Amino acid sequence: MVNLATFSHSNQEAKDFQTKKEDSILVKRTQSSIYTGWKARSIRPLMWLNIVWIALKIYRNPVKAWKNLHALIENWNKYRNKNHFVKNVKIGNRFYINQNAPGWPSQSFDRFIEHQILKSGVNGAPGIHTLILAITKKCGFQCEHCFEWNELNKPEKLSRADLKNIVDRFQELGISQVQFSGGEPLNRFNEIIYLLNNVKPGTDFWLYTSGYNLNAEKAKQLKRNGLTGVIISIDHYAATEHDRFRGVDKAWSHAQAAIRNALQEDLAVSLSCCVTRSFCTTENLDNYMQMANDAGVAFVQMLEPRSVGHYEGKDVGLTKEDIHILEEFYENYSQDPARKNYPILTYHSYHVRRAGCQGSAKDYVYVDTNGNVQSCPFCSKKWFSVLEDDLKSNLMKMKLIGCG
């Protein structure tokens, strides 16, 4: 647990952030380039040509293809919320619109678009594009918000063969992304390398991590074996506050090192923040984005706390005032040209309140450390066993019933 003596200095540390930036990572943005204005607009037509080609390939009829593309655009407009500001990030040879969509051009991008067209089309279709897979119960942290808290550090249920079987079954359904979660997934580093080397092409693989033990050599191996990116949890721009939230000393230092090592290997990097009531101020959110921008990462995602796991039975939900602050912050960094060079921001709950939850097999599902399929990481309802039950028919039932 973090030394409480350091906690008393956290307020002053936060005040000094803007001038001293002692807690920022200060890594030059070398792995990615933000494309806005005419650069972004020059890329989008090429993406859309690819999308039109996919629609024509699916329907083999220009009229049907147009009707379903129109439905796709209408569905996407629910998420844009009238936001016409165009921003892409280039990592390697691929362009990304956000961390939840594969970069273009790629086979995984084509599979993602195929799912979106079929899902949003006039006739609709079953299927998902993302699997969040918890591959381990092991973790040395004591994170305040951990949703797998009740399962941590128990004996593993999923073997290497089980993990391979799960990924194979979902790839047969045409998914375009797998996100490894936990526990701390790096505790099963060898299994991650095995999976990356023994799966079919056409799927992007991401890794959720606290950053613990993501050293330079492991980052190099992950990139060499096909990992797309890492989502590193950082819950405050001040080191002592992050350490307190994570329940261990030097959690911040581990995250810093992980970001540097991932950037060095040209892995896509996203920072993930659980926005608590005490953190939800405009000043804190602005400071966080400045820290992320200084770090040189491509993406940032904001999560709202839920009363599950370590938060079970606790009143941790954001207030209406908090939500207003967070939504205004999201709109500013997503739509204001003055902030065009900041990382691409994702705020899932913003879209859930406007277009509904996309879990429960609409876009994604979560498989927990026992192999149970859940609507999302924050929903404790176990629908079925991914290893024992029929996958396709059960996902269809999930999609029809929805969250609840």
pLDDT tens string 128-142: 899 999 999 999 898
Q: Band the pLDDT of 119: cuts 50, 70, 90.
A: confident
Q: Is the pLDDT at 1 greater than 70, yes or no?
A: no
Structural domains of the chain, ranges and CATH numbers in brackets:
33-120 (no CATH), 128-401 (3.20.20.70)
Question: Long-range contacts: 187-191, Cβ < 8 Å, 24+?
Answer: 187/136, 187/138, 187/139, 188/135, 188/136, 188/138, 189/218, 191/135, 191/160, 191/163
Determine the pLDDT at residue 359: 79
- Which of 188, 181, 205, 82 is CA-nearest to residue 132? 181
Determine the pLDDT at residue 310: 86
What digits encode the pLDDT tens for the residues 240-260? 999 999 999 999 999 999 999
- Residue 354 backbone class (left: φ over 0; alpha: ψ -120 to 50; beta: rest): alpha
What digits encode the pLDDT tens for the residues 20-49? 443 333 334 444 588 877 888 888 899 999
Q: Is the pLDDT at 92 greater than 80, yes or no?
A: yes
Q: Which of 91 and 81 is assigned the larger pLDDT?
A: 91
- What percentage of the chain reaches a pLDDT higher than 70? 88
What digits encode the pLDDT tens for the residues 341-374? 899 999 999 988 887 778 777 888 999 999 999 9
Instruction: Yes or no: say if 84 and 75 are a contact pair by the CB < 8 Å rule.
Output: no
Pairing of strands 204-209, 177-181: parallel
Q: Is the pLDDT at 152 greater than 90, yes or no?
A: no
Q: Band the pLDDT of 286: cuts 50, 70, 90.
A: very high
Residues 215-237, mean pLDDT to the nearest whole number: 97
C-alpha distances out from residue 261 to 25, 50, 213, 265, 297, Å: 12, 33, 11, 7, 12
Q: How far is Cα 261 from Cα 277, in angstroms, rounded to an integer?
A: 31
- Highest mean pLDDT range out of 6-10, 15-19, 123-127, 142-146? 142-146
Q: Is the pLDDT at 125 greater than 60, yes or no?
A: no
- Looking at residue 339, its amino acid is R
Q: What is the mean pLDDT of the chain?
A: 86
Determine the pLDDT at residue 378: 81
Determine the pLDDT at residue 25: 37
Determine the pLDDT at residue 398: 85
Determine the pLDDT at residue 37: 78
Q: How far is Cα 377 from Cα 351, in angstroms, rounded to an integer?
A: 17
Q: Is the pLDDT at 4 greater than 50, yes or no?
A: no
Instruction: Yes or no: say if 100 and 204 are a contact pair by the CB < 8 Å rule.
Output: no
- Which of 42, 176, 201, 168 is CA-nearest to residue 110? 176
Residues 292-320, mean pLDDT to the nearest whole number: 93
Instruction: Yes or no: say if 232 and 269 are a contact pair by the CB < 8 Å rule.
Output: yes
Q: Band the pLDDT of 214: cuts 50, 70, 90.
A: very high
Q: Is the pLDDT at 336 greater than 80, yes or no?
A: yes
Q: How far is Cα 269 from Cα 262, in angstroms, rounded to an integer?
A: 7
Considering the entire predicted model, what is its pTM? 0.89
Residues 216-227, mean pLDDT to the nearest whole number: 98
Q: Band the pLDDT of 120: cuts 50, 70, 90.
A: low
Residues 266-270, mean pLDDT to the nearest whole number: 95
Largest CA distance in the chain: 69
Instruction: Yes or no: say if 89 and 32 are a contact pair by the CB < 8 Å rule.
Output: yes
Determine the pLDDT at residue 86: 73
Instruction: Give how far the C-alpha of residue 365 lies from the chain's centroid of Cα atoms, to the nearest Å.
Output: 13
Q: How far is Cα 372 from Cα 134, in angstroms, rounded to an integer?
A: 10
Determine the pLDDT at residue 61: 92
> For 297, phi and psi rounded to 5 degrees?
-80, 160
DSSP codes of every residue in 366-386: EE-TTSEEESSTT-----EET
